[in-house]
Structure 1
Amino acid sequence: MKALRFPTGLYGVTPEWDDTDRLLLAVRQAAEGGMRSLQLRRKNVPDAVRAAQARALAPLCRELGVVFLINDDWRLALDVGADGAHVGREDESLARIRAEAGPDLILGGSSYDDLGRAQELLAAGADYIAFGAMYASTVKPDTVRAPLSVLTEARRLTDSWDAPRPAVVAIGGITPDNAPLVAQAGADAIAVITALFEAPSIRAAAAACSAPYSANPNRKP
């Protein structure tokens, strides 16, 4: 099986919490439960608040061995020593970011339900392509829905890439109950917000979401 450019398993995405101490504790608990990667996603806060949380999370993630990315702001990712950045449709082009940031910064991009966009992102140097929402999402209730079949097609697409191959990430409404279906469809990683950070036990939720990958890390549709 080809090595990946991005960790398999649980990819935590931060909730809109201003309490940084609470966030740091939650991230530690998620990592203890098996979370492999984390994205700082703060859409509605001043830049200074997002930057302060990024600077607090970067050393914690290094300590925990968690790959750390920042949503929408690759320059901040470089500034705080994060591992990478996630790029959406409204951001700078991934090709331009790759040219400026260099080869070492992990870059992932949103593909929604669009394999054509995924191919463009891969050609531009994406380390992962993200699809979703797979299920109804409380974070983005009006977002486009993607069928599970798009994960299978995306996996076939990335399997044709040279090693290390880009990863396929699924996001949107993913829970411990549906995570096995998403993994079996072809997702190398699952991005989770609510079912992880709003769970009664974050550690237990992380373990449950990670279970499809822990049980069979080399599973393939």
Structure 2
Amino acid sequence: MSEMMTRENLTGLYVITDTTRFQRAALVESVSEAIAGGARVVQYRDKSDDVARRREEAAALAELCRRHGRSFIVNDDVALAIEVGADGVHLGRDDAPLTETRARFAAEGLDAIIGVSCYADRLRAERAAAEGADYLAFGAMFPSPTKPHAPGAPAEVLGWARERLGRPVCGIGGITATNVRDLMAHRPDMIAVISEVFAAPDIRAAAEALCHAMAADNTESIQTTEDPETS
């Protein structure tokens, strides 16, 4: 794991790899362009059974992120994250429990960053925060081309989580340089995207556009006054 990475790095544009579009050298180049455009966190996400390719790609991306001082996260696969020296993992609803995952890293002497998908589930978010999740992801914020059937999450949950749970908060799902403005008033720490960056004809320019839109609206905030009965 990179000694440069701390939990304070969990801010800004968070890109998730599109291995259906890019593989091997092309994947590394696409992520390099996203980093050049301002991406601060990179997640390697690949659901295939090609173990050799996944190991090759994850190792190359881990090195790329170390070289540029970016956080590198592996989706689901704790063993792969440990093997390639990733900064941590991201867990979904069907993945290993957070406490078990933390113990696996600790057994290797590693203090990993562990993020958790909370969807729109506030109870899941509260539980993950209590168990020590390093960041909480909510979505889909908008209809997503990557997961078209994913249930939606209201933008207000970002502000609620940030205020109530004391963890970095990430919005994901269908986010573009245009609609991200609807989220920034709720002050998410990170915005995660796949298609908006990696399906763009100019990856670097797409990442720059998102970073610009996020910065332009980050001065605006709202007060979240949720009814305790709904939290």
TM-score under structure 1 length normalisation: 0.90
1:192-213 deviation line (CA, Å, top 9, x unaligned): 0000011111111111111244
The aligned counterpart of 1:60 is: 64
Aligned residues: 213
- Structure 1's unaligned 5+ residue stretches are none
Decide whether aligned partners of structure 1 residues 18 and 210 sit closer, same or farther in structure 2, where only a CA change above 3 A counts: closer
- 1:14 and 2:17 are equivalent in the alignment: yes
> What code does the residue aligned with 1:95 have?
T
Q: How does 1:68-83 map to 2 (within 5 A)?
A: 68-83=72-87
The aligned counterpart of 1:181 is: 182
- The alignment partner of 1:185 has SS state of coil
Q: How does 1:3-152 map to 2 (within 5 A)?
A: 5-16=8-19, 17=21, 19-102=23-106, 104-152=111-159
Q: Bigger radius of gyration, 1 or 2?
A: 2
The question of whether the paired residues in 1 share the 8 Å contact of 2:62 and 2:86 is answered with: yes
Q: Give me the whole-angstrom Cα distance separating, in 1, the residues matched to 2:105 and 2:208.
A: 34
Q: Give me the whole-angstrom Cα distance separating, in 1, the residues matched to 2:217 and 2:149.
A: 33
Residue 48 (structure 1) shift:
2.4
1:19-48 deviation line (CA, Å, top 9, x unaligned): 211111111111111000000011134222
- The alignment partner of 1:75 has SS state of helix
Identify the range of structure 1 (176-185 vs 189-198) with the bigger mean alpha-carbon deviation. 176-185
Q: Give me the whole-angstrom Cα distance separating, in 2, the residues matched to 1:55 and 1:114.
A: 33
> What code does the residue aligned with 2:16 have?
V
The question of whether the paired residues in 2 share the 8 Å contact of 1:172 and 1:192 is answered with: yes
> What code does the residue aligned with 1:195 have?
E
Residue 170 (structure 1) shift:
0.6
Residue 155 (structure 1) shift:
1.3
The aligned counterpart of 1:190 is: 191
Residue 91 (structure 1) shift:
0.6
1:154-202 deviation line (CA, Å, top 9, x unaligned): 11123xx3xxxx2100100001001122222231101100000111111
Q: Give me the whole-angstrom Cα distance separating, in 1, the residues matched to 2:162 and 2:43.
A: 22
> What code does the residue aligned with 2:152 have?
R
TM-score under structure 2 length normalisation: 0.86
- Structure 2's unaligned 5+ residue stretches are 1-5, 223-231
The question of whether the paired residues in 2 share the 8 Å contact of 1:70 and 1:85 is answered with: yes
> What code does the residue aligned with 1:57 have?
L
Residue 139 (structure 1) shift:
0.7
Decide whether aligned partners of structure 1 residues 23 and 80 sit closer, same or farther in structure 2, where only a CA change above 3 A counts: same
Pairwise CA RMSD: 1.9
Q: Give me the whole-angstrom Cα distance separating, in 2, the residues matched to 1:177 and 1:88.
A: 27
Q: Give me the whole-angstrom Cα distance separating, in 2, the residues matched to 1:220 and 1:21.
A: 40
Decide whether aligned partners of structure 1 residues 187 and 6 sit closer, same or farther in structure 2, where only a CA change above 3 A counts: same
Decide whether aligned partners of structure 1 residues 220 and 76 sit closer, same or farther in structure 2, where only a CA change above 3 A counts: farther
Q: Give me the whole-angstrom Cα distance separating, in 1, the residues matched to 2:117 and 2:50.
A: 23
- The alignment partner of 1:211 has SS state of helix
Identity of aligned residues (%): 43
> What code does the residue aligned with 1:148 have?
A
- The alignment partner of 2:185 has SS state of helix
Decide whether aligned partners of structure 1 residues 64 and 117 sit closer, same or farther in structure 2, where only a CA change above 3 A counts: same
1:46-93 deviation line (CA, Å, top 9, x unaligned): 222212110111101111111100000122111101111000111110
